[in-house]
Amino acid sequence: CNIVVLASGRGSNLRAIIKGIKDGKINGNISLVISNKKDAGALKIAKENGIEAKFYDPAFFASRRGYDIYIAERIRKENPDLVVLAGYMRILSDEFVEAFEGKLLNIHPSLIPAFQGLKAQKQAIEYGARFTGCTVHFVEKELDNGAIIIQAVVPVLPDDTEETLSERILKYEHKIYPQAIKWFCDGRIKKNGRNVIIENA
């Protein structure tokens, strides 16, 4: 199961996925990590683990579509079975999503369909939700709203700040993303529209 990861930030989810592979849980390998941020921690983590890591600068492209077409071409060269967004903070153009439909996954730090978009943890606190969580889902054209593979429920505690809640949710992200990728690589995820079945779960 050949995996390409796109990440913009610190890379803790990437690290959890690499661990899942090293521990023999995920039957796959990451051939390439791409970032739109030069200083992304994810690029450093990739290199430390002997994974090819590429920064592509959006400033060199006239449009988001142009950038996405370029990285889609680069990703295709890897012939991936799976493309994983791990804190990739750019909205993907429809062409990109279509190019990898059915093998493009994302993690979002809320229980979708609640609190989509940016700062999902802050949204949960401001809303006064008692529970939130995280969701691994297929990426479809509507932002943060593809078919759901797995979710974890996390409580919001009375004196939570955005930071403490984010940290609590992140621990679950690191469990459910490797789990979803394991299922995908084992060929156990059957998708029919929004209906996702995990075989032998």
Which pair of structure tokens corresponds to residue 137? Answer: 């889902």
Residue 15 marked as a ligand binder: no
Residues 58-117 that bind ligand GRF (CB under 6 A): 86-87, 107-109
Active-site hit among 108, 137, 174, 182: 108
Among the listed ranges 2-10, 18-26, 53-61, 75-83, the one in contact with ligand GRF (CB under 6 A) is 2-10
- Binding test (CB under 6 A) with ligand GRF, winner from 4, 5, 6, 12: 12
DSSP 16-74: HHHHHHHTT-S--EEEEEEESSTT-HHHHHHHHTT-EEEE--GGGSSSHHHHHHHHHHH
Q: Does 123 bind ligand GRF (CB under 6 A)?
A: no
Which are the contacts of 172, defined by CB distance < 8 A and separation ≥ 6?
133, 134, 152, 154
Residues 147-176 that bind ligand GRF (CB under 6 A): 170, 173
Residue 91 marked as a ligand binder: yes
Which are the contacts of 68, defined by CB distance < 8 A and separation ≥ 6?
92, 93, 95, 96
Residue 145 marked as a ligand binder: no
Q: Does 146 bind ligand GRF (CB under 6 A)?
A: no
Q: Which residues bind ligand GRF (CB under 6 A)?
A: 7, 9-13, 86-87, 107-109, 170, 173
Residues noted as catalytic: 108
